[in-house]
Amino acid sequence: MTGYRSSAAALAGGVVLTGLALAALLAPAIEVALGLDGETVDLFNRFAAPSADHPLGTDELGRDLLARLLNGGRVSLAVGLAAALAAAGIGTVIGLIAGMRGGWVDAALMRLTDGVIALPLLPLLIVLAAVDPVKLGLPGAWAGEPWVELLRIVVLVALFGWTTVARLVRARALALRDQEFVIAARALGVGPLDLVGRHVLPNLLSQVIVATTLSVGNVILLESVLSFLGLGIQPPTPSWGNMLTNAQELVWQSPALALWPGGLIFLTVIAFNVLGDGLQDRLDPRAQWR
């Protein structure tokens, strides 16, 4: 709808994201190439200014900031994408069931969606994040395992993040259900799973992709907030959010520690939002008017 400029902005967002994703994927190689080490603590070299050894300086424990930013980006982007995809998956299933079945199933699922949307997200996430996995019955040996930590955040965020996609998919499914090609398919004896998989899902997939793109930014924000508050990714595994946890007390000594991780979160989220907005304009049927 906003035409050329919007596509240009979306393109810029896509380029930025590709760059960030490449940097995250190649993080180990970049570390080796530049001779960086984001894990070794070097207390004689705390808060070092940028130099040839440490292109962006070091943090409060003398660890290389650039290496930690690269690895943190790996974690933040992976968690963001995984949680957004998980939420989209849940939302698509719930939306499809509600839209295709109708009746009391639809009513119940939509009341559930309304209920989840009406909850104060952040306070409840904090309570959920504070839950002790051992008391939940999970093996104690899992505590502190990095992959369990990542999975925990993905599950937490997906638990609340599915509502937008569910509403969208339901609305589209309701509209598609009564279209002639779907009625024809049903009349030909196509089973319910085939009907959804072959005829309904492909026709609403593009909307789901747009909504997911728009939600990745929000998910990354949520992860960073939880990690910042000490309830998300646990150190020493770096994420852009938990790198900012200590930055607040250290803001007087080393502003760079606060500026870099937050700036990268900001850049990533705005890139996802602009890209999603551009895609949405492309899909908007009214876009062809102008």
Partner 1 sequence: MPRFLISRLIQSLLVLLAVSFAVYGLIGLMPGDPIDLMLAADPRLSSADAARLRALRGLDAPLIERYLAWLGNAVRGDFGYSRLYARPVVAVLPDALASTARLMAAALCLSLLIGLPLGILAAMKPNSPRDHLINLTAFAGISIPPFWLALVLILVFAVFLGVLPAGGPGVSGGLAFMVLPVAALTLAGIGGHVRYMRASMREVLRQDFVRAARAKGLTERRVVFGHALRNALLPVTTIVGLEFGTLFSGALITETVFAYPGMGRLIYDAVMGNDYNLALVALLLATAATLLGNLLADLAYLGLDRRIRLGGDAR
Binding site for partner 1 (CB under 8 A): 2-3, 5, 9, 107, 110-111, 115, 118-120, 122-124, 126-128, 130-132, 135-136, 217, 221, 224-225, 228-230, 244, 247-248, 251-252, 255, 258-259, 261-263, 265-266, 269-270, 273-274, 277, 286
In our burial notation (b when 16+ CB lie closer than 10 A, e otherwise), range 86-99 reads bbbebbbebbbbbb
> Whose structure tokens read 């607040």?
248
CB closer to partner 1, 144 vs 202:
144
Q: To 5 degrees, how large is the angle CA 154–CA 156–CA 159?
A: 105
Contact 252, 108 (CB under 8 A): no
Q: Which is nearer to partner 1, 89 or 262 (CB)?
A: 262
Nearer to partner 1, 93 or 124 (CB): 124
**Of 64 and 281, CB closest to partner 1:** 281
CB closer to partner 1, 132 vs 180: 132
Tell the smallest beta-carbon distance from residue 194 to partner 1 (Å). Answer: 29
The strand pairing partners of 58, in sequence order, are 64
Tell me whether residue 131 is exposed, middle or buried, using C-beta atoms within 10 angstroms of its C-beta: 0 to 12, 13 to 18, 19 or more.
exposed
Say which DSSP state 118 is in: T
Nearest-approach distance from CB 74 to partner 1, in angstroms: 18
CB of 68: closest distance to partner 1 in angstroms? Answer: 16
